[in-house]
């Protein structure tokens, strides 16, 4: 067996987000060296784009060699911890943001293959536990472990195929088995520190023979555990879901803290199969009406109970009340169970909203699930994460299966047939499914073109309104996942919604890569070369995508109805960050035919202010003419508009936003 010895010390962060420095390694005589590498690329998310909490590894040392099955032993001491608690729910939507990593201050890296895959054995003296984390998947296991800052521990880690065992001072502290094969099987070994100093001494690495482990027979119940300041649902040692509370001003309180105000609470970081990435969050307590939202509209939890209706199930029950008046406004239950036959988790939700005032609107939203991995980062300075979901499939009120491409279109709201499922379809084994079980109401909703979240609503006829104060509205839905073959069969049997059928026919729908969602950004442009680009504008219809006319190709946008065609929330509220100080130009090339009145022109609104900046106009009949609307920064966002003043036609192509140096 190869035997390697290394002493590494001084992985240090004297304060949160301190600049990394190069560590040093000293090899003992006669042994093979592990060469200390440069730090990995830090995961840093700008505060002005999606509000992600920064995650930066202060320093990382990686081996020059790659290892598979191994036994690693060392002496570990943790000092200088700077506790930094993440605002979990600032951006709980869009993707699983791994904020729990910030609770761990040192760790061992295993099988780092250079492509973002690998395992991490994590230690924390703050949360008093250790965990096994798999890059790209999340936490596989976490278990309490008393660790004191400044104290040295003898650590032994064995990684054999898909089994990882951790011993501290001779006792087994954690053992976890990944999927059938684990991922990856070979890679580099390393150490890291995060907001702390980790001293690793006397590191020995021994190679071991291969031995694939089968997951043991599942003989444990689901449990509720307070972990990282929140209440989580655990399957054995694996965290599978977290209760989150969207507080607007306070994102750090757990659901049993009834003193803090919130707009709604629900489930986040929810896994739908064991040892898979978290798939979705969703609401449980209905959000207060948007009209009049303020401190008077915030709620508190007045009851929260956890029971075990069966060995393999957990049941949660709650009530909520308006903070200002104490009036009960909501109640509900959620039962979580493991379905062994389908190897999936099932979340049965029954929620009710009690009206605190007469209701006059035709819809009321009872949930807003966000599928993770459906949208990608918008700016080039962000590290890209994968987009795994491709289509949304549902059954309409007539019983027909309909599909919608997840490319940020916003056609209309649609009506669901009760008792059917709305499914986000991917090309893997996790396809989030929302089974709609509400009786006695028309169910409507739609996909948001911004985050691709699914608005689930009760719809009321005019003659039903107003609904009186005190009326209780109930909704039931089940969250689970469809296996790949079931999801693909559902997709194959579905037809495009009429809107998309008009645009696409049966052609392959182009799905954006996720690296750049809204291609309007300084230095980049949109050319109408595919339906996604052409339909970034609101107010257009199928005939506006002209496939026969263009400046340097055969694609453009055709405007032949007077009106304004605009982008939705382009800027910090959408898919691009703030426009910093400077001067910018919205540019396009416009062609007109018989354009009356002022003709065609461009404008930019300084969102959300009323300031508007316009270009010159082109009227009558004119060949391709460059137009430009100049606007200043800094501004937090901009709404881009195309105008056609009267009867006639205009074609727009090569739309571009550039910063003028």
Domain boundary among 448, 477, 510: 510
Q: How far apart are CA 511 and CA 502, in angstroms?
A: 17
Beta-carbon contacts of 225 under 8 Å, excluding residues fewer than 6 positions away, are 231, 232, 233, 234, 239
- Of 510, 543, 564, the residue that ends a domain is 510
Res 552: pLDDT: 79
Cα 444–Cα 378–Cα 654 angle in degrees, nearest 5? 95
pLDDT band (50, 70, 90) for residue 500 = low
- Tokens of residue 197, six digits: 């100093």
**Predicted confidence (pLDDT) per residue in 545-577, tens digit:** 777 888 877 778 888 888 887 764 444 333 444
The span from the CA of 544 to the CA of 479, in Å, is 38
Which residue's structure tokens are 């890291």?
192
pLDDT tens per residue across span 315-360: 999 999 888 888 899 999 999 999 999 999 999 999 999 998 899 9
Tally of domains within the chain = 4
Q: What is the pLDDT of residue 334?
A: 97
- Residues 318 and 433 grouped into a single domain: no
- Give the range among 162-176, 352-366, 591-605, 633-647 with minimum mean pLDDT: 633-647
In a shared domain, residues 313 and 360 = no
At residue 259, the pLDDT reads 53
Place of tokens 């596989």: 140
pTM: 0.76
38 within domain boundaries? yes
Q: What is the CATH number of the domain that holds 167?
A: 2.60.120.560
Of 77-81, 83-87, 210-214, 484-488, least confident by mean pLDDT is 83-87
Reference 331, options 479, 472, 478; nearest CA is 472
In the chain, pLDDT over 90 holds for what percent of residues? 36
Q: Are 495 and 541 found together in one domain?
A: no
Assess whether 9 and 34 both reside in one domain.
Answer: yes
CB atoms within 10 A of CB 549: 16
Shared domain check, 422 and 360:
yes
Measured over the CA atoms of residue 93, residue 509, residue 543 and residue 615, the dihedral's sign is positive
- Residue 518 domain-assigned? no
Q: Are residues 470 and 535 in the same domain?
A: no
Residue where a domain stops, chosen among 142, 172, 207:
207
Structure tokens of 55?
């995650």
Q: Are residues 196 and 104 in the same domain?
A: yes
Range of the domain at 482: 355-376+387-510
Instruction: Classify residue 347: in a domain, yes or no.
Output: no
In a domain, 346, yes or no: no
Q: Does residue 366 share a domain with residue 333?
A: no
- Determine contact, residues 564/612, Cβ cutoff 8 Å: no
Place of tokens 């001293």: 199
d(CA 288, CA 322): 9
- Specify if 519 maps to a domain: no
Model pLDDT, residue 587: 85
Does 295 share its domain with 441? Answer: no
Q: Is residue 543 part of a domain?
A: yes
442 lies in some domain: yes
Please tell me the least confidently modeled range out of 73-82, 185-194, 282-291, 409-418. Answer: 282-291
Whether 343 maps to a domain, the answer reads no
- Residue 320 and residue 306: Cα distance in Å, rounded? 15
Query: Are 74 and 194 in a shared domain?
Result: yes
CA–CA distance, 366 with 473 (Å, rounded to integer): 9
Q: Which residues pair with 206 in a beta bridge?
A: 3, 71
């Amino acid at each position: 067996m190869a035997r390697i010895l290394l002493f590494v010390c001084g992985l240090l962060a004297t304060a949160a987000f301190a600049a990394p420095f190069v560590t040093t390694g000293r090899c003992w005589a006669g042994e093979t060296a592990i060469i200390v590498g440069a730090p990995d690329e830090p995961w840093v998310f700008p505060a002005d784009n999606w509000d992600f909490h920064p995650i930066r590894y202060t320093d990382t040392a990686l081996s020059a060699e790659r290892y598979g099955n191994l036994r690693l032993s060392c002496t570990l001491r943790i000092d200088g911890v700077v506790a930094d608690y993440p605002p979990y729910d600032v951006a709980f939507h869009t993707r699983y943001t791994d904020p729990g990593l910030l609770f761990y201050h040192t760790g061992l890296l295993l099988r780092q293959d250079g492509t973002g895959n690998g395992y991490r054995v994590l230690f924390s003296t703050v949360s008093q536990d250790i965990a096994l984390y798999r890059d790209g998947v999340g936490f596989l296991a976490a278990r309490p472990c008393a660790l004191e800052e400044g104290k040295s521990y003898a650590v032994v880690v064995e990684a054999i195929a898909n089994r990882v065992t951790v011993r501290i001072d001779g006792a087994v502290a954690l053992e976890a088995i990944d999927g059938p094969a684990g991922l990856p099987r070979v890679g580099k070994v390393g150490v890291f520190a995060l907001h702390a100093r980790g001293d690793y001494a006397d590191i020995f690495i021994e190679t071991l023979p291969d031995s694939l482990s089968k997951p043991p027979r599942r003989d444990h119940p689901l449990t509720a555990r307070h972990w990282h300041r929140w209440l989580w649902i655990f399957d054995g040692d694996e965290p599978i879901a977290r209760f989150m509370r969207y507080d607007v001003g306070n994102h750090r309180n757990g659901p049993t803290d009834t003193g803090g105000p919130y707009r709604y609470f629900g489930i986040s970081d929810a896994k739908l199969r064991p040892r898979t990435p978290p798939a979705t969050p969703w609401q449980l307590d209905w959000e207060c009406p948007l009209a009049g939202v303020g401190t008077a509209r915030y709620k508190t939890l007045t009851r929260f109970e956890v029971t075990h209706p069966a060995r393999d199930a957990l049941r949660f029950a709650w009530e909520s009340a308006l903070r200002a008046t104490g009036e009960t406004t909501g109640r509900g239950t959620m039962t979580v169970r493991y379905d062994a036959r389908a190897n999936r988790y099932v979340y049965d939700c029954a929620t009710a909203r009690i009206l605190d005032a007469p209701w006059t609107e035709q819809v009321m939203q009872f949930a807003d699930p966000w599928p993770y991995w459906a949208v990608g980062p918008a700016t080039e300075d962000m590290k890209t994460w994968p987009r795994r979901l491709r289509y949304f499939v549902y059954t309409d009120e007539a019983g027909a299966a309909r599909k919608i491409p997840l490319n940020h279109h916003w056609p209309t709201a649609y009506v669901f047939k009760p008792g059917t499922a709305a499914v986000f379809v991917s090309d893997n084994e996790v396809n989030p499914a929302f089974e709609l079980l509400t009786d006695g109401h028309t169910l409507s909703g739609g996909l948001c073109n911004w985050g691709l979240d699914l608005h689930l609503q009760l719809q009321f006829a005019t003659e039903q309104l107003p609904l009186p104060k005190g009326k209780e509205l109930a909704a039931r839905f089940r969250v689970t996942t469809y296996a790949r073959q079931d999801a693909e069969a559902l997709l194959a049997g579905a037809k495009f919604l009429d809107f998309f059928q008009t645009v696409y026919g049966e052609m392959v729908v182009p799905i954006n890569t996720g690296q750049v969602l809204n291609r309007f950004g300084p230095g980049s442009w949109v050319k109408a070369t595919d339906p996604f680009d052409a339909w970034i504008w609101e107010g257009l219809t199928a005939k506006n995508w002209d496939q026969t006319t263009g400046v340097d190709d055969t694609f453009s946008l055709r405007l032949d109805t007077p009106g304004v065609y605009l982008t939705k929330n382009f800027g910090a509220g959408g898919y691009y960050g703030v426009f910093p100080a400077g001067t910018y130009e919205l540019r396009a090339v416009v062609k007109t035919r018989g354009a009356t009145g002022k003709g065609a022109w461009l404008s930019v609104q300084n969102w959300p202010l009323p300031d508007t900046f316009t270009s010159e106009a082109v009227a009558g009949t004119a060949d391709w003419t460059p137009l430009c609307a100049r606007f200043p920064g800094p501004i937090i966002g901009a709404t881009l508009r195309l105008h056609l003043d009267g009867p006639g036609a205009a074609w727009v192509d090569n739309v571009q936003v550039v910063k003028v140096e």
